[in-house]
Amino acid sequence: MRFHKECLYCKKELVGRTDKKFCDPQCKSGYQYQKAKEQPERFYDKVNNQLKLNRKILKEFNKGGKVTVRTEILKDIGFNTNFFTHYWKNQKGDVYFFVYEYGFLKKVEHGIDKFILIKWQDYMLKKTPLGL
């Protein structure tokens, strides 16, 4: 008895084993990709994608080690200040937020919102009495 089955991806008739689902590896890959795209984006993926975007933006704009940029420029290309990996407080009490090795501090100068962009330095690593 012959079963007429079709490929789950391209719908072509399958030839060969009775439990075969795809006609070739490309159809199998395409089917799995299509199914993955139908799934809602996971929270972890959203956070990770925004962190990657934030880091990319900070890296692109901070070529000199310390740079001042208008807030609107970064936000217009997708920078989101709510996503950061850690923070560092300097001796003046300013809190820099970091996305991995790139940091930013929000300042208002002459009524204009700006970010001061910096790169992580070894001296920023604060040692506790236990060396942690």
User: Residues 87-111: pLDDT tens digits?
Assistant: 999 999 999 999 999 999 999 999 9
**Domain for residue 66, yes or no?**
yes
**Domain for residue 83, yes or no?**
yes
**Domain for residue 94, yes or no?**
yes
**Domain for residue 33, yes or no?**
no
**Are the C-beta atoms of residues 22 and 7 closer than 8 Å to each other?**
yes
**Domain for residue 2, yes or no?**
no
**Domain for residue 37, yes or no?**
no
Question: How would you write the pLDDT of the chain (132 residues) with one tens digit per residue?
Answer: 456 689 999 999 998 888 899 999 999 999 999 998 888 878 998 999 999 999 999 999 999 889 999 999 999 999 999 999 999 999 999 999 999 999 999 999 999 999 999 999 988 886 544 444
**Are the C-beta atoms of residues 97 and 105 closer than 8 Å to each other?**
yes
Number of separate domains in the chain: 1
Residue where the block lists tokens 């910096």: 118
**Domain for residue 72, yes or no?**
yes
- With a threshold of 0.85, does the pTM exceed it? no
